[in-house]
Each structure stands twice: as C-alpha cells, then as structure tokens.
Chains A and B, each alone.
Chain A
Amino acid sequence: MKHTISVLVENKPGVLARIAGLFSARGYNIASLAVSETQDPSISYLTLVVEAEDEKILEQIKKQLNKLIDVITVTDFTKKEHIDRELVLIKLAYSAKDKAKLESVLGKYVAKIIQHRADTAIIEAVDQQDKIRQLLQDLEKFGIKELVRTGRVAIAY
C-alpha cells in the first residue's frame, strides 16, 4: 500500500542523500519524492510517497526518518485529513483537427494546453494521482510523446 508522508528538514546539503540512503539501505521503496523550500528558507519540505506492505514497515520508516538529526518533523497523511496534488506536463502529438476532441477531454480535468506547435502540444494538469492516471489513459489515443510528473505534494490542515 502507498502512504504519503511529509518531512520537514533542515535545508542543508546532504539532507536529501541521508533520506534517500535511509530508504535504499533498508530496502524501502520510494514511489515519489518532491522537495522544495518553505516560507522559512532554512527549512525544506519533502513529500514522500512510500510503499509499505504493512503497518510495521511504515512505522519503521517514520521512526528512521525521525532519527535523522536534520529531520524536524515527520507527518503521516495516511489517516489524516489532507489535500494532495500532482502536476504533470505532457508532450502530446497534436494536429489542429484534433483540437476540439482534445479540449473536450481536458475539460473533464484540471488540465489545459499551455502551448502548441504544428505537431506537438504541451499540456499541464494538476490533480490527484488517480485523476492524473485517468487523464493519461484518456490522452493515450492522441499519442503521448513524453511526460514528466512532479510526484505527489501534500499538505494537512
């Protein structure tokens, strides 16, 4: 099962390596990882999506993260009210005649064409991961050339 965890860390060199190393050394898998500065430049905010088969592994992951000296707080969103989003940029095969069809697909999501050229359009979508997954399925028929996702970011009240 996938779990979303946020980690506030000291914004120092090597912190990300410590977290990545912790996961690889213990054989835990990171499904996605998003890192950025916060309103306090000395603190970075990580959103981790981790795969943990059982509660015991999830507990260990949280404890091990907390054990790192540079980790300030660890929050597990599994049983917590929160908002999560992911941003995806999609490079799509495009021709003018498909425009209406494409726009009707995109209309169902928080998604839009940011730019297009003769044969290529760049689409941006921001949504929860299951919606993004559906969108990608819907766009399959147009021909996805390339895509990039930020990984999940999450925030709690």
Chain B
Amino acid sequence: MTGAQILIECLKREGVEVMFGYPGGQVLPIFDKLYDADIKFILTRHEQAAAHAADGYARATGKPGVCLATSGPGATNLVTGIANAFMDSIPMIAITGQVKSSLIGNDAFQEADVTGITRPITKHNYLVKDVKDLCRTVREAFYIASTGRPGPVVIDIPSDIQMQDTDFIWPETVEIRSYKPTYFGHPGQIKKAAKFIGESKKPIIYAGGGIISSGAHLVLMELAQKIQGPVVMTLMGLGGFPSTHKLSLGMLGMHGTAYANHAVTESDLIIAVGARFDDRVTGRLDAFAPHAKIIHIDIDPSSISKNVKVDIPIVGDAKNILGELLEAIKKTPDTSEWFKTIDTWKKKHPLIYKDGGKIKPQYVIEQIYEATKGEAIITTEVGQNQMWAAQWYKYNWPRSFISSGGLGTMGFGFPAAMGAKLGCPERTVFDIAGDGSIQMNIQELATCVCNKINVKVAILNNGYLGMVRQWQELFYKKRYSYTCITGPDFVKLAESFGACGIRVTKKEDVRPAIEKAINTDNTVFIDFHIEPEENVFPMVPAGEAINRMIDGMA
C-alpha cells in the first residue's frame, strides 16, 4: 500500500467518519485516495475553519476531530486552530502535507517547518520520514491525542512518503514507554480529601473542562448531592453540572455570577476538579479564597500548584477519582448554614440586566434558550457574545456549550458549529456571534450551504468590537480606538451564499425569528440589532479580587 492508502486505512480503523480540510500540492496523493474513501470529507473555505470545525466536532462528540491541509500556508493556516485546541485540551489530529523529503530545509515552494512551528502548541507532533513508520505514527497520534489530558497532535507527511509503498502492519496495541498517564488517584490522598470534606463547613466544588473530557458529570452530581455542596463552573466546565440545579451557582470568575465569586471567596474548602486556576477565574491571586483549603483533582500534574498552592493534590482521571472519593467519604458536612449565606448573596446580587430600549442581547439568548428548550448545542465566538452566552443560556448537559476558552479565538464559533452539527446532526446548533467575530470566518457560509450543514447563527450586532469597547469605556475614558466596526448587510450576504438571512430590530420579532430559524431547513443568519453599548456584567476588573465586582446596576 502507498503511504496515502495507509493513512486512509488508519483513519478508518481509528473510527474517523468525517474530516475537514483543504487540498494543495503536497497532499495530492492523499486527496486522490480520499476520492474513493468512505470518509466524509468537508471542504472548508479556509484551513483555519477546518481546524476549528474538527475542534467543534471533537467537543460535541468526545471523539478526536481530524483536519487535513497542505504544506506551507495550508499548515500555517491551521496553526490558530491547533493552538485553540491545545489551550482547551481538545483531542485533534491535524495532518499536513510537507514538501518531499529531499527538499526539506531547502526553502522549497510552500515549505514551512511545521513540526517546529507547532511544537509549543501541540501535545505532540511527528514528521514522518519513513513510510514504514506511518501506520504506527497515526496509531500513536490518536492514542496521545485522546488519552491523559487530551490535546492536538500534528502529523506532517512529506509528499514522497505519501507515494511510497510498504506493507500495511496495524499495531494492535500502542505502547509508549515514556507516556503513561495516571488514571487512578492515590488512595492516601483520597482518604485525606474525604476527611477534609467531612470537616468542612463551607465547601465548594469548582468544576472545569476536565469534568466534560473525562465524562465525570454523573459522578460529580452524586458527589455534590452527597455532600450538599454548591458547584461553580469555569467557562469550559459549563454543562458539566446542570445550571438549573439548586446546587449550581453558575460560572465563577471575571464574568461569573456574584454569588459564585462570593461563595468561592468565603469558602473553607475548594474541591477543584479538572480546572486549572486560570487568571480569568482566580482574579488577584493573593485574595483568592483566602480561608480555603484546596483539594485539586487533575490528570495533568503540571496544572497542580501552578498558580495556587494546593493542600491535597490528586493526580488522575476526574471520573475515577470522584468515584473513589464518593466511596471514601464517611462523614458529610452540614451545609445548611452555608446555603443560607449563599441564598442571601443570590437575593442581593442576582444575575440581571435592565430591559428596555433596543433589543438586549441577554434577552435574545434567553429566547434562544426557551425556543430550543435548553437542548441546543451552543457555540460562541469570543467577546461579549461569548460571555452573554455563558451567562444566559442554561446548560444542563455536557458537550452543549462549545467555546474558545483558553486561547479566546474570534472566528471560532461558526466553523465549530459546523463540526458540532456534523457530529450531532439531530441537535439544533446555534452559534452565538458578534458582528466582529462572525466576519472572521464568514466564508464558511459556502461550506455550510454546499454540505447542507444547517447551523443557525445569531449575530448580536452592536456595531462594535464590544468587549474591547467595554474595556475602553470602563478603563480608557471611552476612547473607542478602532472598536467601531462596520459589516456587510448580513441578510443579503447570507442570501448571496444561498443561506437564509433574517434581520431583527424589534424586541417582539426576536422570538419569531428564532422559531423561524429553527424551522428553516437551511443555514440561517439572524442579524439582531442590539443595544450598541450594552456591557457584560458583573465584571471583575483585571487584577482585582473576584469578590470585587462591578455590577453595572448602580
């Protein structure tokens, strides 16, 4: 078999049903084999979108997403998408063509040092130098991408390797002596954690994306109920615990709920699971949960005690460890007083917005929530749209909220929605976008229409790069430097691609437009003209303690 045939055969054996990409000179042999392969290939209109779509597919399904691009510019266009998957620990395989082996290092046409460029933004990467290594390399790549703390893996394949012949030898098992993730927690540490929980009066569970990647949501629910502890979630953790549950305090951090942030600050024990104490979560470090002991459960030892000193580190898989912890807890805390305090915060600082005037973005999202009965997959772009989507849609299942957390990539949501829709065709998929972000990968309208990927895009159109404008308003004396942005006529634009476009300028038209979009068998852009200078509140100013929020209600 040729290298290209081997690659396709490996992808099939790894269970790949759909992949995203763009052809080019150095991947011609692979594309020739794809022509007859029974793998669905989605031709995006930009390689960056292929990477984001593979990422969205992975987030929605839990399976590794696969993207493919040619050498040089094809590969460098994937870079943002790879970095995005890396920051959020998403399993992804990015396959790139490379110039033929004899030309590597010669500044050949469309050559880029792809393994060099992607080294700091991948979990691992490979340059295949011998066709005999290809099969094992693909197998290892999938194994590495999807085990331990997941992440993207790049396989760079020179075009001559794609054409060379060798026997197809499929390794039944993968054995990498230098890569052995820890899955089960240390029993002594678990016992200690159980004791701390029993002795605490004001415990809080701080749940991150690790809950979702390890599939720990059910056991997390058991734990929360057993100890009657409140649960706060990171952006990546949304959906890991039902937002409508009485123990849920929603999201914490910079744009978290006031009661989540107060509860974390006043807690005496934090049970952190699959979260990494990111600066957007902790705010000013020395004021973060000053009275709390910290139990930190994470599969990546390097996440533990990186930003915040931890009292009980437990390395391993969240689902396993929470299960072990449930067994180990003999005494449960009495949290009734703790909840009385939390309820006063909830009453005093609810998550609210002032309605009236132009359409409020929060209202749009509430209406999307109601119209989809909370069962849609929501993807987001980055900025205000993302934070409103995190605050105002209630996520009750894992893999329902798909957002660029770590890297904060504008232009992510639309291609990610395509990937999510292809992975979960029966679900309604909404991309909640801003008028700035949507313009970053708007070319994917063609991909959607051509492949009948019926995603719905709700553009919260305020004529600004809203989040940056908000910072300029609050911290730069309203000097709106280059944040006022124009766009096309989104309705006409959508129509010109063969999609459906709806414009909404009145509050009473919001819900009907959403219903129409859901019931339209096509890709739909809804252009909501919203209050131009609406802000995301509450907000913790950068570098401030998380209980020192601006609520915007004064």
> Which residues of A are interface residues toward B (Cβ below 8 A)?
9-10, 13-14, 17-18, 21, 25, 56, 59-60, 63-64, 66-67, 69-72
Contact = CB atoms under 8 A, between A and B. Distances in A.
The 5 A-B residue pairs with the shortest CB-CB distance, nearest first, are A63-B302, A69-B124, A72-B178, A69-B179, A63-B301
A144 B104 CA distance: 42
Contacts of B116: 17
B425 interface: no
A72 B300 CA distance: 16
Interface string B161-182: 0000000000000001111000
Interface size class of B (residues with CB under 8 A): 10 to 19
A13 B300 CA distance: 25
Contact of B302 (A17, A18, A67, A71): A67
B115 interface: yes
Given A67-B300, A67-B302, A18 B119 contact: yes
B513 interface: no
Interface of B: 115-116, 119-120, 123-124, 127, 144, 176-179, 300-302, 305-306
Contacts of A25: 120
Contacts of A63: 301-302
A14 B123 CA distance: 14
Contacts of A59: 305
Given A69-B144, A69-B176, A70-B178, A60 B302 contact: yes
A112 to B, nearest CB: 40
Contacts of B119: 14, 17-18, 21
- The winner among A10, A14, A60, A69 for most chain B CB atoms within 10 A is A69
Contacts of A67: 300-302
Nearest to B119: A21
Given A67-B300, A69-B179, A72-B178, 17 more contacts: A9-B178, A13-B127, A14-B115, A17-B119, A18-B119, A21-B120, A25-B120, A56-B305, A60-B306, A63-B301, A66-B301, A66-B302, A67-B301, A69-B123, A69-B144, A71-B178, A72-B177
14 contacts: A9-B178, A10-B178, A14-B119, A17-B116, A21-B120, A56-B305, A60-B302, A60-B306, A63-B301, A66-B302, A67-B300, A67-B302, A72-B177, A72-B178
Contacts of A56: 305
A66 B179 CA distance: 9
Nearest to B129: A13
Contacts of A10: 178
A10 B127 CA distance: 15
A71 B178 CA distance: 6
B231 to A, nearest CB: 27
Contacts of B302: 60, 63-64, 66-67
Contacts of A21: 119-120
Contacts of B178: 9-10, 69-72
